[in-house]
Structure 1
């Protein structure tokens, strides 16, 4: 008897995770973060909840994986922009380029919809803190500094100033001094 396996080829774990994350990305983009649930995801990929947890983790881990998929272009652009920079200049550049990229991203409406309750928990993602620390060059591994950077970016993304020059001056005047060494 030939078994019709839902994961065929390559590494079983990698293939399963890829299939789950791809389906989760589609669900989150089409329905939003708040409507995302494990049962719907399991039905979409034709597997059990246990399989989802085994290969992709829980809702928070899946959210972080989807966040990485959706933000990979933003991260790459910021990484290129800060290459060779350090200190306050790196932090300011990372924040301003990230904001430009978030605002230009076609998924921005979904990412910044104030009705999305899950966004209120997104700032607590360890993934975002690690990205903030990496992209800004925070080397002392201060989790509070990385969380603060995430909150600064989320605040400006949610409530942009009408004048980019004023926003840039605010970041240089109030954020940069915290990172002058």
Structure 2
């Protein structure tokens, strides 16, 4: 077999995905801060040495999890918006509400917005990768994207009384401002 003709395969990807999946399941069960690295390794079916090969510490693993999930939610938001008419204010409202729905529907993500874990989430959400994955799906303006992620984190941490109230707030206070920043 000619090795140069064999495509390179990143063998880390399945292990990393398994580790992040196990972490997500444990976050949903025990909360973000309630999960030890050894539990994640056991849940992923790998050794602690393997876990630490990919993630040097718990904050690095948590950041990787949040980045992966922000990319996933961003893609879901884009898919949700695909059939909507091109009216910027409506798109921004629908994008924010879509992000809220997707995060709330996923127990591993909802865990990040429990009272005990929300501060850590707010810090991680401001990372550039999270902004790019989620906020920039709604606007091309990096400052507006950062602000949108803050709004989403805020509504996830301190939700409105009901879906209608959240829609009204987003329509009244978020969409008009973002509509002005979209080129």
| Same fold per superposition (TM over 0.5) | yes
Deviates more, 1:25-34 or 1:104-113: 104-113
CA contact (8 A) 1:92 1:176 kept: yes
Alpha-carbon displacement from aligned partner over 1:48-68 (angstroms, at most 9, x marks no partner):
2xx434424543442243335
Q: Once the 2 structures are TM-superposed, how far is the Cα of residue 93 of structure 1 from its aligned partner?
A: 1.1
1:27-66 correspondence runs (5 A) = 27-42=26-41, 45-48=46-49, 51-56=50-55, 58-66=57-65
Alpha-carbon displacement from aligned partner over 1:78-137 (angstroms, at most 9, x marks no partner):
22222264633322110012223333444565232102253343322333211233321x
Determine helix, strand or coil for the equivalent of 1:115: coil
Q: Once the 2 structures are TM-superposed, how far is the Cα of residue 40 of structure 1 from its aligned partner?
A: 4.5
Partner of 1:3: none
Please give the alpha-carbon distance, in whole angstroms, between the structure 1 residues aligned to 2:87 and 2:57.
Answer: 36
Partner of 1:121: 123
CA contact (8 A) 1:129 1:146 kept: yes
1:2-151 correspondence runs (5 A) = 11-42=10-41, 45-48=46-49, 51-56=50-55, 58-67=57-66, 74-83=73-82, 85=86, 87-107=88-108, 110-116=111-117, 117-136=119-138, 138-140=139-141, 142=142, 144-151=143-150
Partner of 2:6: none
TM-score (ref. length: structure 2): 0.70
Determine helix, strand or coil for the equivalent of 1:91: helix
Compared CA separation, residues 156 and 25, structure 1 to 2 (3 A): closer
Please give the alpha-carbon distance, in whole angstroms, between the structure 2 residues aligned to 1:120 and 1:71.
Answer: 13
Please give the alpha-carbon distance, in whole angstroms, between the structure 2 residues aligned to 1:47 and 1:106.
Answer: 25
Q: Once the 2 structures are TM-superposed, how far is the Cα of residue 34 of structure 1 from its aligned partner?
A: 0.9
Please give the alpha-carbon distance, in whole angstroms, between the structure 2 residues aligned to 1:125 and 1:98.
Answer: 17
Please give the alpha-carbon distance, in whole angstroms, between the structure 2 residues aligned to 1:129 and 1:73.
Answer: 13
TM-score (ref. length: structure 1): 0.70
Compared CA separation, residues 36 and 147, structure 1 to 2 (3 A): farther
For structure 2, the 5+ residue unaligned runs are 1-8
